[in-house]
Structure formats: structure tokens, C-alpha cells
Structure 1
């Protein structure tokens, strides 16, 4: 399938890269279909809306940011994406890059969960209050390096 993307322009994507979000993402509830793309920067991904080429999110694997991260979302959220096996579930954090790039952050409180077999996704809310909307990536990496 050929899609238009914000980061790369028109590209071909494989069916396995397509993810349907039945209720959209927070703030983007009207957009339901996305493609998961590798970013040029290792460890990051693009979640590109198929319906609006101007909408794309940068994602990272929360376990790469915090080795102690535990995905803790409601059973309803897991059921919404057809959860059957833990190994079928991928978790991502949405990255925000502000004008001051040193304050780049990841949202660990609102993980994007994906059933890679059924290609269904949902943005959930973490049940663990330890995870915040803004985990500053450079601060987290500095902490991890000092451990």
C-alpha cells in the first residue's frame, strides 16, 4: 500500500505495518488507521496517520528508556486490542519534542499498546502512578548511566 507520510513523503508500507485504532488516540479520536514505521534514529518509530498525512507521532519503546518499566493497564484496554498472549503485545511511549530539544520527553502514563498479530492498537492509561506524562529522556538516560 502506498501512503503519504510527514517524515518521508510517499512510501510503500506492508500490511503488517498497518494498525487500526478503533477509538483513535487521545486528542485524535477521529483518526483510526496508522502505519508503524522505523525512524532513521535507532530506537525510535513513527506512527503515521493514513487518514491525515500531517499527523505523525514519534514513539519509543518504554523499556529502552526505563529498564524498570512495567506495562500496567486495565484488562479492558487489553481486551480492546484482542489480548491473548503477552508476546503479541507491543508497548510504545509517545515522544514530545519541544522548542528546547533538551526537554524532549516520553509519555509513560499514556502508553500506546498494539496487538501485533491482530494489528489493533489503543492508547491506554497506566494504572501505576509512578509513570508520568513527561519523563525527560535526557534526564532518564543520565540516571540510567549513573546506576
Structure 2
């Protein structure tokens, strides 16, 4: 299968050619950004991060990280009805990311473990879910967690 490239205007990297299979659609948008639906996933310069660049607004970009890299016992309890909204048939079809916050004041870099982004890798539809487990916070200090795990 040939994957075509799409030119994506980014906030910080100019225009970048992105494989069409890296374009995801949020039918309901993200919380607080409900009117923006299409995003491109772009590898970040620093692993393990990924940029999620809006295709609708070049100034709207989110930094993502795989939460399972940060927290060994991270788990999502999302009901099948919610997952069916993006066509998920099997847990194996799901890719999960947390949105990262890098404060301009030099505060800790944090990940939103309470509101992960769930992507159906079969159709590239995505949604943001809110986990009810109070164990997961919106401001999980990922630099501290990665250092404790010995990740540089």
C-alpha cells in the first residue's frame, strides 16, 4: 500500500511532509478544543515524544508521550461504548498517548494521565477520555518519573 505525503504547516518546524497514515481525526475534538478535529502525528526531536499538530490551526500543537513508558502500572478503564465511538473492536487496535505540559516558567514537565488520547490505529479516529480513577492526575511529573526509572 502506497502511503502518500501531506504537507503540514507546523507551529515551530515550518512545513513538514507527513505520511497520510499519521493523520488522525477527533470526531468530538479535544476538551477545550472541540472545533479542531484533524491532527498530524510528527516525531519529535527528543524521544519518546511526539508532536500532535492541528491541521486546522498551525498555532495549535500538543506534545504527546506514551504513558506506559512513564508509569509501569498505568491502566485505562474505558468502557466499550466509549471506544465504539471511534470504531475500536479490540484493545490491540488502540494506541494511547498523554498530553504533555512544558511550563514557560521552568516548572516541572508534566503529563495528563487523567485525560489520555486514545487512537484507533485501524481507522485513525481518536478521542480524549477522562479516567475516573483518582490515582491518575493531570499533572504527573514525567521528568522525575523517568529519572527514577533510569531513562535519560
TM-score by length of 1: 0.92
> Which of residues 4, 7, 28 in structure 1 aligns to 2:9?
4
Structure 2: which 5+ runs fail to align? 1-5
Does 2:126 align with 1:116?
no
Q: Which residue of 2 aligns with 1:53?
A: 58
Segments of 4+ moved more than 4 angstroms: none
CA contact (8 A) 1:57 1:94 kept: yes
The 3-state SS of whatever aligns with 2:149 is: helix
Structure 1: which 5+ runs fail to align? none
Superposition pairs for residues 56-71 of structure 1, below 5 Å?
Answer: 56-71=61-76
Q: Which residue of 2 aligns with 1:79?
A: 84
The 3-state SS of whatever aligns with 1:103 is: coil
Q: Which residue of 2 aligns with 1:144?
A: 149
Q: Which residue of 2 aligns with 1:15?
A: 20
CA distance in 2, matches of 1:124, 1:7: 27
Does 2:139 align with 1:134?
yes
TM-score by length of 2: 0.90
> For this pair of structures, how many residues does the alignment match?
145
State the Cα RMSD in Å: 1.3
Q: Which has the higher helix share?
A: 1
